[in-house]
A and B are shown apart, each in its own frame.
Chain A
Amino acid sequence: MALLEVNNLDVRFALRGGDVRALRDVCFTLDRGERLGIVGESGAGKSVAAFSLLNLIAKPGYIAGGSIIFDGKELSGMKDRGLRRVRGNRISMIFQDPMMTLNPVLSIGEQMVESLKAHRRISTREARAIALHKLNQVQIPSPETRLDQYPHELSGGMRQRVIIAIALLLDPDIIIADEPTTALDVTIQAEIMDLLLELCDKHNVGLVLITHDLGVVSQVTQRMLVMYAGRVIEQGPTREIINGPQHPYTQGLINALPQMATPGSRLNQIPGSMPSLSNLPSGCAFHPRCGFVNDANGAPRKACLDKVPGFVDSGNCRVACHMVAELVNQQQRDSREEVL
């Protein structure tokens, strides 16, 4: 059984005009030591997905349905007391902005000791020793002095290293990293990603990496989910999706990257922009921007306009698209005829 299993997760925000469905039918699994990428543009729901795993969604958001099973236990309905044993301890998080995550009025050491003592019965001296060890692991120069420094005395890259040290402090099973390198420069980003990978491998920690950067996902993760307007629209092994995306949105997203076009030529843009979650188009949420909405006869496919597409298995990937479903059915029919 997978370490983490998310089934039909449904998250809503209760707003004055009625509920806004920020996530619907999100399903995925994560094995021990596996690295999963969640990709999407802003507003796709990738951060909500990550936050809801630990029930960290603030009001008016709430989990309206579905299950999150971690190590055999259901997390979605759990009380705060039970969740506290999981949060930071078994599943820890790394956020985007290291300056916002660290408490500016506590020294690095105090913050590390604090979270150790919250979960384990140990003395401050022991906690400091563990903290020092973890700072060493994330390759911070002169960790003894860093322990007594405050976050503002460190550079952005160093702060993110401290955050990673804190995330690893209690030897968690899963780290959820929400855009961990977006605020950093490319050379620092490469170093931090290397470090995170190395540590996850060494300690057999699962990683859920949330990012909008397809380059990072393709280099770091083994499997990936692509999200659009609150739904997962494609999931599967990272290499297969990057090399052969099937959903028109994933295709568009990858083809829109400047590195996919010859320098100086026009980029393959996706027309329009992501719809607002409170006002989703009918049927497939992507259909107004989709280049494949028309069928062979040139008329818009009725299913695309009316029916929310379900998942079909296509190769090793699962894709939520009527066009792909048609292709898969066609292939199955063809192969059956061949057998006959």
Chain B
Amino acid sequence: MTAAVSQHDPKASAATAGNREQDTAAPLMEIRHLHKRFSLSGDFLEQLKFKSGKLIREQEYVHAINGIDLDIRRGEALCVVGESGCGKSTVARTVMGLLAPSQGEIRYEGQRIDNLSTKELLPYRRRMQMIFQNPYASLNPRMTIQQTLEEPIRLHHPDWSKERVRDQVRDVMDSVGIDSDWGPRFGHEFSGGQRQRIAIARALAVDPEFIVADEPISALDVSIQAQVLNLMMEAQQQRNLTYLFITHDLAVVEHFGTRVAVMYLGMVCELAPTGTLFAKPRHPYTQALLSAIPRLEDDRPQHIRLQGEVPTPVNLPSGCVFHGRCPHANERCRKEVPTLIDVEDGARVACHGVEEGRL
């Protein structure tokens, strides 16, 4: 046990960070068999029910993530797409340690981080940062920009002098295109795009290597989206960042992502390099999703209509979670849960139809 703890020593992890260039083959982040359930039943007393003469305890869960395996490679932008309720934000929050997984492991550079105490997690928190969707909510309205940006630096580098902290804040403000004289201003004095720049600056302030961005541009206007995406791509090149990018906007994914994981009802149904996924989607859900993007082209392509709606994650369907809406489902799909299998061009698909060669 003591050995395990010492592995999480900040100095030890700094040493691993030094060897970073050599072991590019090993993934930066590994997610293994991740499950996350949220209880709907309240506390113990509320769970007790009186049924046919017996007192029984009933618990109901929202199954937000149901067994996900993902590797995030150093230097890539892994995009997670899916419709609302598919669990993509839960993945982001669980990876960051904001939620504890119900089952499964999360490893950062080979070290398990999901079972660490807050104190043990601190050195990892410096290396992984998060950008949230709504810059109106993610900035503290009572703090000036200077305070907002200084806070993470002070927390992670308590030994730094005031001047050094201030210099770091100025550098990071310059790098995101916010005038460093605006430090004394408050969040509400800025437009949405500027606020998101500040939120990005806060994430970059502690020189992280891994950034989880949960719908960072969804709340912004089209012309501002381009500015923020450019900024994120610049930062990636300059700082050698790795992104886990959560979004529902497939056009953004096509532009920004190295690889794409398509999620449906808490499962990854297709994982592929971006080019492959858009050129040749294999999973029936991915095909439907791609065909639904409104494009600028002249002809309105016939999109694939799905039957019904996304089932509730409280009572998961048996077998493949997509079988109820899939036009190609058969008996096996209704019974057996498909796993991700390798197909050509580096893509992985969880579909019995693809596996059997029907699709």
Chain A interface residues toward B at CB < 8 A: 41-42, 155, 157-158, 185-191, 193-194, 212-216, 218-219, 239, 242-243, 252-254, 256-259, 261, 263-264, 266-271, 273-274
* CB neighbours of A264 from chain B (8 A): 233, 255-256
Residue of B nearest to A141 (CB): B308
B56 interfacial by beta-carbon distance below 8 Å: no
CA distance A212 to B193 in the complex (A): 16
- Cα separation A306 to B254 with both chains bound (whole Å): 42
Interface pair B251/A257, CB less than 8 Å apart: yes
CB neighbors of A among B94-147 (8 A):
none
B224 touches A273 (CB 8 A): yes
* Residues A256 and B225 in contact, CB atoms below 8 Å apart: yes
Dominant secondary structure at the A interface = helix
CB pair A187 B221 closer than 8 Å = no
Complex CA–CA separation, A271 to B177 (angstroms): 11
* B216-232 Cβ-contact flags toward A at 8 Å (1 or 0): 00000111111101100
B292-A187 in contact (CB<8A): yes
A239 to B193, CA, bound (A): 30
The reply to whether A185 and B293 form a contact with Cβ atoms under 8 Å apart is: no
The contact sample of 29 A-B pairs, CB cut-off 8 A, is A41-B222, A42-B221, A155-B309, A157-B309, A185-B84, A186-B83, A187-B292, A187-B303, A190-B303, A214-B222, A215-B251, A218-B296, A257-B251, A258-B229, A258-B251, A258-B252, A259-B295, A263-B254, A263-B255, A263-B275, A264-B256, A266-B233, A267-B226, A267-B255, A269-B230, A271-B227, A273-B192, A273-B193, A273-B221
Contacts of B223 in A (CB 8 A): 41, 252-253, 256, 269-270, 273
Q: Shortest Cβ distance from B280 into chain A, in angstroms?
A: 15
User: For the complex, what is the distance from the CA of A219 to the CA of B298, rounded to whole Å?
Assistant: 7
Given contacts A212-B221, A242-B296, 5 further A-B contacts (CB under 8 A): A187-B289, A256-B222, A264-B233, A267-B229, A268-B226
Tell yes or no: B90 within 8 A of A by CB: no
The answer to whether A214 touches B303 (Cβ under 8 A) is no
Given the contacts A41-B221, A185-B248, A269-B226, A239 and B309 also touching, CB distance less than 8 Å? no
Quick check: A269 and B227 within 8 Å, CB to CB? yes
Interface pair B293/A215, CB less than 8 Å apart: yes
Cα–Cα, bound, A214→B295 (Å): 8
How long is the Cα–Cα vector from A155 to B191 in the complex, in angstroms?
33
Question: B293 contacts which chain A residues (CB < 8 A)?
Answer: 186, 215
Distance to closest chain B CB from A34 (angstroms): 17
Question: Main secondary structure on chain B at its contact with chain A?
Answer: helix
What sequence of 0s and 1s flags, for each residue 307-343 of chain B, a beta carbon within 8 Å of any chain A beta carbon? 0010000000000000000000000000000000000
Interface hits, B218-268 → A, CB 8 Å: 221-227, 229-230, 233, 248, 250-252, 254-256
Q: Please, how many angstroms separate the alpha-carbon atoms of A91 and B309 in the complex?
A: 31
- In-complex Cβ contact of B305 among A189, A191, A258 (8 A): A191
B296 A257 Cβ-Cβ under 8 A: yes
- Write out the residue numbers on chain A whose beta carbons fall within 8 Å of the beta carbon of B297: 218
Distance to closest chain A CB from B309 (angstroms):
5
A193 to B292, CA, bound (A): 10
Q: Total A-B residue pairs with C-beta atoms closer than 8 Å?
A: 111
Cβ contact of B226, chosen from A157, A214, A218, A270, cutoff 8 A: A270
Q: Do B292 and A186 touch across chains, with their CB atoms under 8 A apart?
A: yes
Enumerate the 4 nearest inter-chain pairs by beta-carbon distance, A residue then B residue, closest first: A215-B294, A258-B255, A185-B83, A256-B226
Query: Please, which residues of chain A bring their CB within 8 A of the CB of B229?
Result: 258, 267
Q: How many angstroms between the C-alpha atoms of A256 and B229 in the bound complex?
A: 10
Contact B274 A263 (CB under 8 A): yes
Quick one: which of A212, A216, A242, A256 has the most chain B CB within 10 A? Answer: A256
CB-nearest residue of chain A relative to B300? A219
- Contacting residues, chain B, for A158 (C-beta < 8 A): 309
| Alpha-carbon separation in the docked complex, A216 to B254 (Å) | 18
- B227 proximity list for chain A (CB < 8 A): 269-271
User: A186, A213, A218, A259 — which one has the most chain B CB atoms within 10 A of its CB?
Assistant: A186
**Interface flag for B14 (CB, 8 Å):** no
* Contact A254 B296, CB 8 Å, known A187-B289, A259-B254, A273-B193: yes
* Cβ contacts under 8 Å, B252 to chain A: 258
Pick from A41, A258, A271: contact of B256, CB under 8 Å: A258
| B70 at interface by CB-CB < 8 Å | no
Per the bound structure, the CA–CA distance linking A118 and B268 in Å amounts to: 50
